[in-house]
Amino acid sequence: MDDVNDVNGGPVDPEPKFRIRAHYTESTLTVYQAYRPEIGDAAARTGRFPSAWSRERMTWIKPSFLWMMYRCGWGTKEGQETVLAVEITREGFEWALRNACLSHHVPDLHGDQADWKRQLKRSPARVQWDPERNLHLSPLPHRSLQLGLTGEATVRYADEWIVGIEDVTPLAGEIHARVRAGELTRAAALLPEERPYAVAEEALRHLRG
């Protein structure tokens, strides 16, 4: 895998800077989140977020497993001990992309900053592109998409888009143990398969920056 080669001083990363990579099927796409056990365990058990999960707050979903591991410290950070793989409809994911705004101002895309702030305020979703991570959670040259959902998008996510929720905390722990042992090839073999995800150009044109 490219990430393992990078760790060991192999080929230069061939990925374009901005491209969505995800584990997906013909109709669904998997994103990752991490929660405290009271939220995460209940969500995995029932396939839905419990009443304690707030629809009033922005929630961030991440198609990159390794970026989620970077964010939650392999499930060791306080309040992020339960790592969830949330399978959602591709239709919902692409609705969010079409209705998203970049989380930072890019003059060529947004005009002046006041226009961007107005767009950001009325958008139910926002996008950040953060450096993808390798198995050591070190940054790579290409970027990983994060999608923040608020308002209408949060409600749609929780009530319409979710197909299933799986607790992948044990998987995170096993991969982390392989990495700590220096078994990078075995660790990489356990990673969810993430492939380039093709979307219509108009769905991403306003989100590259």
pLDDT-above-90 percentage for the chain: 74
Average pLDDT value for residue range 22-29: 98
- Tokens 């029932």 map to which residue? 46
Give the model's pLDDT for residue 15: 82
Give the model's pLDDT for residue 121: 86
pLDDT at 3 over 50: no
Give the model's pLDDT for residue 9: 43
Give the model's pLDDT for residue 62: 97
pTM higher than 0.85, yes or no? yes
Residue 193's pLDDT band (cuts 50, 70, 90): very high
Residue 111's pLDDT band (cuts 50, 70, 90): low
- Backbone torsions φ then ψ of 130, nearest 5 degrees: -115, 155
Token digits for 138? 């070190």
Mean pLDDT of the chain: 89
pLDDT at 8 over 70: no
**Length of the chain as a residue count:** 209
Is residue 97 packed enough to be buried (19+ CB in 10 Å), middle (13-18) or exposed (0-12)?
Answer: buried
Residue 106's pLDDT band (cuts 50, 70, 90): low
pLDDT single digits (tens) 126-137: 999 999 999 999
pLDDT single digits (tens) 38-67: 999 999 999 999 999 999 999 999 999 999
pLDDT at 6 over 90: no
Token digits for 103? 């989380």
Is residue 137 packed enough to be buried (19+ CB in 10 Å), middle (13-18) or exposed (0-12)?
Answer: middle
